[in-house]
A and B are shown apart, each in its own frame.
Chain A
């Protein structure tokens, strides 16, 4: 099953490689991994999307907790949470496609953030499924480039990791 693990870790060189190294050394999956410093510059917040049986997920959580640089972690999928991903996508936009793409971007509540005579660059956020659906909807359009941020997650309600 898919799990989203949110981690607060020391913002130190090498901390990211400890986490990534753990996943490869123990043959765990990483679907996506995002990391950046938080409002407290000594801490980074990492979101890992992984999958595995309950036993494997339990081990992933325990092994992550064992890393000295990991301050706190929480499996967001245990309760209500919000997922968001950012996608930047560059498509060919000539002739009829120019209007068609614009309509689709509106429907999916994205933004066109860069325009040339022949291309649009679109920004769109949402959960992974929404972004997949948008790419699907562009099936008749020529996609030139796709950049996805990987998933970010946060708990609903007053629960905080910190």
Chain B
């Protein structure tokens, strides 16, 4: 049967089992919106700004593993989406972004609401397409979903001129797809796997270091088996939290710039480093010249370009994390060799000594609300069961440090790009995907204002989010750096003009609660959770000058932390 391009787009989304499309209409996508109007299979969620649409789709993707889908118009619709596309790109999140384009005949004419969307997004996508013929829509969508979700995932942009969405053609969705230029590696090299296992078992001071790749590659179960079988210490990056349970005694918490003392010292002193689905980001390694000086490094990653990019690796293994971990686990079961128990006992003694530093201690008797206290109580009140999104800054680090994640896909934050404004729309996406779960957005007074308009979207779709606003009246992380490295010259980091957040929340139809005393923290959290069907905005007035510790200053090694 002949369908219009717009109808074909809907059929493609149905064929890919897309539940939700997050979007905002405009001239170039009116045919597509008309097609949405005539069907109920794919639900369209109307956001208040295109950045919100991308972050919401991103939150949906991170919390489910399925690709998030975005629909925006040409020109400003596309440029507003750019921040969200880059956010997804940096954290390897599968996403399909459909951008409208001016009619084909007008491309290049500086037409109304025309930008070169393919050109603008090229460096921040895994791939992008400009569709030039209605006949190509089905094939391009099939390819786009395939590319976005396989190998190292990432966002894919599909730019569609308006006239093409009105043209008609027979629709048939391709059943499978083969691309001669795209063949992601799935299986690790058996020889390398054997070599790695020998090195792993011979280790005296081993360290397992895992990242977001374990979550993206659904390797959490395999990682647990691997880590527990060996009894080795494990540290996880900001993006990897939850793949291995934070509550397990083998977990040393997060590593890196604001990682724990025991994790960073363990990294610095280990003799074998087993890196899995992590990319040796500069926030993790600190000074590269001082990084893991004594370690033989094994690196498992699905992206060959991540291997030996920042740190030279001794045993590279390209393959899907879950697959390679399965091979590791099989090899460990088949071999008669066991880890070096005596060396391991000594290593754990050393680690426990580092642990006894209690690097996350803070003043629990404070008269003002400490941000750490809010996170700790939030963990207790929710028993660690919430899906937590965050914005970017001090509150993000506090959430990563004090809210222990025991399961993957429960901690959703912008690690690579560090996008303020991410938290609220990402929480919306997670809540759509998990309507029965408690979804909380940990944010600050500065971050939340970058996408605050989405409070209206939450009203429209009755999303009962809990917003935990840690309000210290500063861009906290900027202020912290200015305190440490700029002699307390707080240049433009003081957010002293603020809305009344409780009234603001109420004006959108939500509940707002201002909390000023430590004693009121738990009751307020309990009250917010008791409001099962309502969004509650908790405005915690926190200590203005609290800092995130431990901290590795720029240029220092992992063993050169500033402690409290």
Q: Which positions in A face B, CB cutoff 8 Å?
A: 9-10, 13-14, 17-18, 21, 25, 55, 58-59, 62-63, 65-66, 68-71
* Contact across chains for B308 and A68 when beta carbons are under 8 A apart: no
* Contact across chains for A65 and B180 when beta carbons are under 8 A apart: no
7 further interface pairs, Cβ-Cβ under 8 Å (given A21-B122, A66-B305): A17-B119, A59-B305, A62-B305, A68-B179, A68-B181, A68-B182, A70-B181
Which residues of the other chain, B, contact A21 by a CB distance below 8 angstroms? 122-123
**CB of B376 closer than 8 Å to a CB of A:** no
* Contact across chains for B122 and A17 when beta carbons are under 8 A apart: yes
A and B contact pairs by CB, cutoff 8 A, 30 listed: A9-B181, A10-B181, A13-B130, A14-B118, A14-B122, A14-B128, A14-B130, A17-B122, A18-B122, A21-B122, A21-B123, A25-B123, A55-B308, A55-B312, A59-B305, A59-B309, A62-B304, A63-B305, A65-B305, A66-B303, A66-B304, A66-B305, A68-B126, A68-B127, A68-B147, A68-B179, A68-B181, A69-B181, A71-B180, A71-B181
Chain A contact residues: helix, strand, loop or mixed: helix
Which residues of the other chain, B, contact A69 by a CB distance below 8 angstroms? 181
Nearest chain A CB to B77's CB is how many angstroms away? 20
How far is B132's CA from A14's CA once the two chains are assembled, in angstroms? 13
Interface residues of B in 171-209 (CB under 8 A from A): 179-182
Known contacts A9-B181, A69-B181, A71-B180; A58 and B308 CB within 8 A of each other: yes
Interface residues of B in 254-282 (CB under 8 A from A): none
User: Among A21, A59, A68, A69, which residue has the most Cβ atoms of chain B within 10 A?
Assistant: A68
Tally the A-B contacts, defined by beta carbons under 8 Å. 36
How far is B90's CA from A44's CA once the two chains are assembled, in angstroms? 30
Which residues of the other chain, A, contact B305 by a CB distance below 8 angstroms? 59, 62-63, 65-66
Residue of A nearest to B179 (CB): A68
Which residues of the other chain, A, contact B179 by a CB distance below 8 angstroms? 68
How far is B303's CA from A10's CA once the two chains are assembled, in angstroms? 21
Residue of A nearest to B156 (CB): A68
How far is B179's CA from A146's CA once the two chains are assembled, in angstroms? 41
Which residues of the other chain, B, contact A58 by a CB distance below 8 angstroms? 308
Which residues of the other chain, B, contact A17 by a CB distance below 8 angstroms? 119, 122
Nearest chain A CB to B172's CB is how many angstroms away? 22
Nearest chain B CB to A71's CB is how many angstroms away? 4
Which residues of the other chain, A, contact B303 by a CB distance below 8 angstroms? 66
How far is B150's CA from A66's CA once the two chains are assembled, in angstroms? 13
Nearest chain B CB to A29's CB is how many angstroms away? 18
How far is B181's CA from A70's CA once the two chains are assembled, in angstroms? 6
B118-136 interface mask toward A, CB cutoff 8 Å, 1 = contact, 0 = none? 1100110011101000000
